[in-house]
Amino acid sequence: MFENLSEKLERSFKILKGQGKITELNVAETLKEVRRSLLDADVNYKIAKDFTNRVKDKALGMNVLTAVKPGQLMVKIVHDELAELMGGKNVDIDVKGNPAIVLMSGLQGSGKTTFSGKLANMLKTKRGKKPLLVACDVYRPAAIEQLRVLGEQIGVPVYTDENSKDPVGIAQAAIRQAKAEGKDVVIVDTAGRLAIDEQMMTEITAIKKAIEPNETLFVVDAMTGQDAVNTAKEFNERLDFDGVILTKLDGDTRGGAALSIRTVVNKPIKFVGTGEKMEAIDAFHPERMADRILG
């Protein structure tokens, strides 16, 4: 997904790479190109500007003008700052507890239900957990059915109650069942809307309050760029979530969401979704992402 950005950044460093002796003007031109590359990747203006200012300060602090290989030094500085921008280190989810509770939030179509299945599958196959999935979307029977199908596919039970219109009650009943059956992780999939609305926010806030999850995760479609960042901000203000899940990184996203969300909400991106299959889930590693961007 970062192909475009990678290419552009590589081009920006050309000015510095070809020269034995460089000037402040060369550095300034390079930084301007870096900023332009970030803007083209759909990073918000202020974030891009602050980013290049930090790179500049660091470059001057490290005496880039007299460095033997100024191009390489700049690439390293940009690499480290990119990793920092995306959160520095990977932050795992907390699934300790009896049971641990994970609450999923996000807009409809963001990939919430798919990710709930992926997470359950990953916890089951890689960490030896016994998950229970919970369908709390009382408005869309199709969403309940979708989770049931996914559960069947990965061999994880799904708690549903089609007669209930009370998502808080469903989540609580599911947790009781999980305890009774010795399940150790409960993943609660909730209703989303196409756009943020008060009822959805009130509902998910009430669920969170009632079940006190270990993890509240916010799922967002990376392809929506700046919108993803704005939605994250609004959800975080209401829900104070613990981590972000960026989905559809396999699509032709320009990467702006991945580069901006951490700065805007100050919460880590914990996982990414890279396809429709249940195996298409990866832990998010800022360092590795920066490696990928800079090739």
| Minimum CB distance to ligand GDP smaller for 110 or for 214 | 110
169-175-176-180 Cα dihedral, nearest 10 degrees: 160
Contacts to ligand GDP from residues 188-217, by CB under 6 A? 192
Contacts to ligand GDP from residues 230-269, by CB under 6 A? 247-248, 250-251
CB 158 within 8 A of CB 133: yes
Q: Out of 108, 172, 205, 230, which residue is the one contacting ligand GDP (CB under 6 A)?
A: 108
Q: What is the separation of C-alpha 209 from the centre of its chain, rounded to a whole number of angstroms?
A: 23
Q: Which stretch binds ligand GDP (CB under 6 A): 43-51, 56-64, 68-76, 108-116?
A: 108-116
Q: Please, what is the minimum distance in Å from the beta carbon of residue 145 to ligand GDP? A: 11
Q: Please, what is the minimum distance in Å from the beta carbon of residue 273 to ligand GDP? A: 3
| Residue in the shown chain whose Cβ atom is closest to ligand GDP | 273
Residue closest to 275 by CA, chosen among 256, 252, 255, 249 = 249
Contacts to ligand GDP from residues 164-193, by CB under 6 A? 192
Q: Is 249 left (phi over 0), alpha (psi -120 to 50) or beta?
A: alpha
Strand partners, 244: 218, 269
Cα separation, 175 vs 268, in Å, equals 26
Cα separation, 202 vs 211, in Å, equals 14
Q: Angle at CA 82, nearest 5°, toward 81 and 87?
A: 95
110 binds ligand GDP (CB under 6 A): yes
Number of residues that bind ligand GDP (CB under 6 A): 19
224 binds ligand GDP (CB under 6 A): no
Q: Out of 12, 44, 114, 263, which residue is the one contacting ligand GDP (CB under 6 A)?
A: 114
Per-residue tokens: 269: 């991106």
Per-residue tokens: 160: 């549903």
17 in a known ligand binding site: no
Q: Give the CA radius of gyration of the chain.
A: 22
| Minimum CB distance to ligand GDP smaller for 37 or for 110 | 110
291 binds ligand GDP (CB under 6 A): no
Residue closest to 41 by CA, chosen among 266, 220, 226 = 226
Cα separation, 119 vs 243, in Å, equals 14
| Minimum CB distance to ligand GDP smaller for 109 or for 155 | 109
Contacts to ligand GDP from residues 23-52, by CB under 6 A? none
- Please confirm whether the linkage preceding 99 is cis (ω < 30° from 0): yes
| Minimum CB distance to ligand GDP smaller for 56 or for 248 | 248
Annotated binding site: 106-113, 189-193, 247-250
The residues binding ligand GDP (CB under 6 A) are: 106, 108-114, 146, 192, 247-248, 250-251, 273-276, 280
Annotated binding site for GTP: 106-113, 189-193, 247-250
